[in-house]
Amino acid sequence: EVKKNGKNGYQFYTGELNEQLQEKIELEVELRQAIARKQLFLNYQPQIRAGDGQMIGVEALVRWNHPTKGTISPGVFIPIAEETGIIYEMGTWVLREACRQMKEWHRGGGPLIPVSVNLSSQQFHQTNLAMYIKEILEETGLEPQYLELEITESMMMDATVSRSILNELTESGIRISLDDFGTGYSSLSYLKLLPIHKLKIDRSFIRDITENNNDKAIVATIISMAQHLNMDVIAEGIETKEQLDILMDNDCKKIQGYYYSKPLPAQDVEEAFFAPMRASGS
Ligand code: C2E
Ligand code: MG
Ligand code: MG
Ligand code: MG
């Protein structure tokens, strides 16, 4: 009988599996309550114009302030939210909170910059996605040109991420950005079929760009393609001056990464980035 050999690998393995499963189930239960209990919050990572260091936008990134586990990152709980359908309510909350914060900054004399919000593919399964996003803009008073939606390449290939929804969104003035560009399995022809405004070069091409000529070539090609397609381009995951210099040499002027700033609470963005902007009069 298995229990008599309590120390064998099999028992150890199932025990560990059960523990992981148990933990996941607990997280799921707690995640369902997290929104109502106001445990979710947004951090904002500045997007910087490399030439003069000005903040030209922010990306909203959700965090979960768990009562006992501390801050949990979206890499852990977004997949659970997606598997369980919690993503619908969470996605709506993120959109509303990001738009509210942006409008508050605009009203308070902060910089007139846009916010980028990540969408999950499931959110496109909601038939009224475009309508409720427009409702959130009306509710919060944020002008549509200050909202940018980030979708991924694989979502672009997903039939439910339909051209009609993206067209409806962009016709109202909202912008669409392709996140993690270069990592998905997408056909470039989608770039001309869908209303995409911006390519976001994935961090995986930036990481080794100072030593890896293939990465350098890919990044240069993405930048050039974006320019030829009249799209905006931004590089994410810039951590060092050396990486920044390569991007600038290749004419990529928009940068997001730890080199300039980690994602910060709204208050910290104000303190670190608003005052310098006022001082420079822009
Ligand atoms: P993402 O949309 O590609 O966001 C960028 C991620 O890279 C963020 O991780 C950010 O903190 C990290 N990052 C930015 N600059 C650097 C850098 O220089 N070095 C390194 N090592 N990392 C950098 P985060 O906040 O943990 O988010 C992870 C992913 O979770 C996001 O990737 C996005 O796919 C997803 N996510 C975050 N917030 C939301 C949300 O509100 N809704 C949805 N659906 N997904 C979200
Ligand atoms: Mg993103
Ligand atoms: Mg993403
Ligand atoms: Mg990304």
- Predicted-complex ipTM score: 0.98
What local confidence, expressed as pLDDT, does residue 1 receive?
41
CB atoms within 10 A of CB 146: 21
pLDDT at 186 over 80: no
Residues with CB under 6 A from ligand 1: 45, 61-62, 73-75, 78, 94, 118-120, 150, 179-180, 203, 236-239, 256-258, 263
Which residue minimizes the CA distance to atom 15 of ligand 1? 257
**What is the tens place of the pLDDT at every residue in 189-206?**
889 889 999 999 999 999
Which residues neighbour ligand 2 (ion) by CB within 5 Å? 118, 150, 179
Nearest CA-CA partner of 244 in 155, 253, 221 = 253
Atom of ligand 1 minimally distant from the CA of 152: 34
Name the closest ligand to CA 78: 1
What local confidence, expressed as pLDDT, does residue 185 receive?
75
Q: How confident is the model at residue 250 (pLDDT cuts 50, 70, 90)?
A: very high
What local confidence, expressed as pLDDT, does residue 184 receive?
81
Give me ligand 3 centre to Cα 92, in Å. 16
250 contact partners, CB below 8 Å, separation of at least 6: 219, 220, 223
Name the closest ligand to CA 260: 1
What local confidence, expressed as pLDDT, does residue 277 receive?
66
Which residue minimizes the CA distance to atom 22 of ligand 1? 237
Atom of ligand 1 minimally distant from the CA of 120: 44
% residues pLDDT > 70 (the chain): 93
Name the closest ligand to CA 47: 1
pLDDT at 57 over 50: yes
Name the closest ligand to CA 77: 1
Give me ligand 3 centre to Cα 115, in Å. 14
Return d(Cα 114, Cα 188) in angstroms, integer. 26
Give me ligand 1 centre to Cα 151, in Å. 12
